[in-house]
Amino acid sequence: MSTQALESTRPALTRLSDEEAMFRDAVRDFAEAEVAPLVMQMDEAQQMDPGLVGQLFELGLMGIEVPERFGGTASTFFTSVLVVEELSRVDPAVAVLVDVQNTLVINALHRWATPEQQEQWFPRLATDTVGAYALSEAGSGSDAFALACRAEQQGDGWVLNGQKLWITNGNEADLFIVFATVDPSAGYRGITAFLVERDTPGFTVGKKEDKLGIRASSTTELVFDSCRIPGSAVLGEVGKGYKVAIETLNEGRIGIGAQMVGLAQGALDHTLRYVQEREQFGKAIGRFQGVQFQLAEMATDIEAARLLVYNAARLKDAGEDFLVPAAMAKLHSSRVAQSVSSMCIDLYGGYGFTREYPVEKYYRDAKIGTIYEGTTNMQLQTIAKLLLQ
């Protein structure tokens, strides 16, 4: 079945402007032509293809909200969401590299960077520099501000000591937004964000994690050993790092929602083709009502998740409150990605359990959606807390 035919099977609920639809289609064509042939190779090698990263920059997908004067696309957060969704249809590992760049790193610089910092970093982030977001540590996952990484002021600069874990884009990044505490006695009010360049003395990118899914996306540790950075490297204000982290992650959840929607759609697209080709009992299995009902359930669940994600992104762009919609979007889409990818394996039967067919990778990739940028329990807590206010 062609991409156009597959598109016609989807409910016409998520209306896009002509410009948005053209951009989405361009990303879809790129993903199918350039990313798809590399998916299994990158997954097995656990490494992003360097040439592909260059293509992402050339297409303007790494600086979507960066102003044109800095070489960016000067588009919207919603456009970032469309890009992440379309890349995830083909490879969620590639999508998360783009997602972190746009919804976390660039968004944080938009909101908190000084004009001088934006002048320094926006041109690079739009053209050749990958960014990473370094918050998590061994003892601070969901309890995000239980940081052991320390920043001590010395003269007109700072010295960082400590370790970060599970940092997406660690191998590819040249700019890291690093969160450290300048005053442990102050609790979360002692957290400060810093801009750290990869080649800074005392900073080392450590081991790469061997993961279940999104294996081409690098997830690494970072080590700071008397890492000296200038005073100009502070992002936002000293002691306001918790605000940088919270506000950025609230936006980032929408990006993860888009990743999960795209993943689920990709798994379903493959399955729609398969059930019309695979025959049992003398006819294609897609002609059995039981299978048709399963396909209908999956398509409905995906569209509901897509609407939640799109709504949250539209609210964000409109400057309206999106905290609960973002949590709901991530919560529901991550569940849908797991349920849909699992059902797709069931419909493939024994073939779905092998690496010869693509659905097993979607199933592996889906699991991270309930964990990073806020676990399922954290999303439920956010929603419930605000409902009860």
Instruction: Assess whether 303 carries a catalytic annotation.
Output: no
Angle between helix axes 323-348 and 241-277 (nearest 10 degrees) is 30
Report the chain's mean pLDDT, rounded to a whole number: 95
Predicted confidence at residue 40, as pLDDT, reads 97
Please choose, from the candidates 106, 107, 90, 101, the residue with its C-alpha nearest in 3D space to the C-alpha of residue 259: 90
The string of pLDDT tens digits covering residues 123-155 is 999 999 999 999 999 998 888 788 999 999 999
pTM score, whole prediction: 0.95
Reply yes or no on whether the pLDDT at 11 is more than 50.
no
Say what the pLDDT of residue 15 is.
81
Domain boundaries, the chain: 3-130, 132-240, 243-387
- Which is it for the CA torsion 237, 240, 242, 244, positive or negative? negative
* Rounded average pLDDT over 97-102: 98
Confidence check: pLDDT of 47 > 60:
yes
- Nearest CA among 114, 94, 107, 15 for reference residue 54: 94
List, for residues 113-125, the tens digit of each pLDDT value.
Answer: 999 999 999 999 9
Q: What percent of the chain has pLDDT over 90?
A: 94
Please say whether the structural domain 132-240 has been given the CATH code 2.60.120.580: no
Catalytic hit among 85, 86, 221, 373: 373
**Overall fold of domain 3-130:** Butyryl-Coa Dehydrogenase, subunit A; domain 1 (1.10.540)
User: Using an 8 Å Cβ cutoff, are 323 and 250 in contact?
Assistant: yes
What are the tens digits of pLDDT across the range 216-269? 999 999 999 999 999 999 999 999 999 999 999 999 999 999 999 999 999 999
What phi and psi values does residue 179 have, to the nearest 5 degrees?
Answer: -105, 130
| Residues 265, 73: Cα–Cα separation, whole Å | 26
CATH homologous superfamily, domain 243-387: Butyryl-CoA Dehydrogenase, subunit A, domain 3 (1.20.140.10)
- Please give the Cα distance from 170 to 134 (Å, whole number): 9
